Amino acid sequence: MRVLVVEDHATLAGRIAEGLRQAGMAVDAVRDGAAALDATALTAYDVIVLDRDLPVVHGDRVCREIAGSGPRVLMLTAAAGVDDRVDGLELGADDYLGKPFAFAELVARVRALSRRAPSAPPVLRRGDLTVDRARHRASRGSRSLSLTRKEFGVLEMLLAADGALVSAEELLEHVWDANADPFSNVVAVTMARLRRKLGDPPLIETVVGKGYRM
């Protein structure tokens, strides 16, 4: 899952981004509304955690411009009254969380938003392989799989594609963040480790020059 954190308070932005990474998400962070619009124009995010009171371009305008374009929006703000929540939702936000907040709740809400697409149910299955997206667990048959965050993200995306081809570029965009080197072999290396952990019979097919599919 690829998440964009838009928060002008540097310390808070860093803590949110790092906490979401620890929860297994690929996270980018920007500090103002203009940078948020630039980032969403370049990258297909699954969820955007959006502060409302932003410099350069206000969070309300950011929300209006990106609402309905693909990513789910969680508006995060100190203004948490009923009228403020209604305003945020009417701007197109999918959810609204007031500051201060419990971080576990933020993680749960981000994960819930990412599961709203009908093509990505909470639990993904293919044959004897099961991936529980909500609990961040995977198993094959009766065997629990010990996966890194990136391996889990790759497996989750391939299963959600339901047999469709997923390119290395798409995996890099959704599972890694903006710091990933697009010219590295990190996807191939992660895929090789994942295949070893999944075991036999093989579940992932490589389509040379095009990508991977279950």
Q: Which two tokens stand for residue 82?
A: 């009923």
Looking at residue 205, its pLDDT comes to: 94
Residue type, 88: G
pLDDT for 88 equals 55
**pLDDT, tens digit only, all 214 positions of the chain:** 889 999 999 999 999 999 999 888 889 999 999 999 999 988 889 899 999 889 999 998 999 888 767 789 999 887 655 566 566 567 788 888 888 889 999 999 998 888 765 445 678 888 999 998 777 889 999 999 999 988 998 998 899 888 889 998 888 888 887 777 777 788 999 999 999 999 999 999 999 888 999 9
Are 33 and 56 a contacting pair, CB within 8 Å? yes
CA distances from 132 to 94, 123, 124, 171 (A): 23, 4, 6, 19
Count the alpha carbons within 13 Å of 72 in the hemisphere toward its beta carbon.
18
**Residue 60 near residue 78, CB atoms below 8 Å:** no
Contact indicator for 35, 58 with CB cutoff of 8 Å: no
Angle at which helices 186-198 and 168-175 cross, to 10°: 90
- Concatenated DSSP letters for the chain? -EEEEE-S-HHHHHHHHHHHHHTT-EEEEESSHHHHHHHHHHS--SEEEEESS-SSS-HHHHHHHHTTSSSEEEEEES--SHHHHHHHHHTT-SEEEESS--HHHHHHHHHHHHT-STTS-SEEEETTEEEETTTTEEEETTEEE---HHHHHHHHHHHHTTT--B-HHHHHHHHS-TTS-TTSSHHHHHHHHHHHHH-SS---EEETTTEEE-
**Would you state the pLDDT for residue 118?**
47
Burial of 166 (0-12, 13-18, 19+ CB in 10 A): buried
pTM: 0.65
Q: Which two tokens stand for residue 116?
A: 């709203």
Q: What is the pLDDT of residue 98?
A: 85
**Rounded CA gap, 72 and 106, in Å?**
14
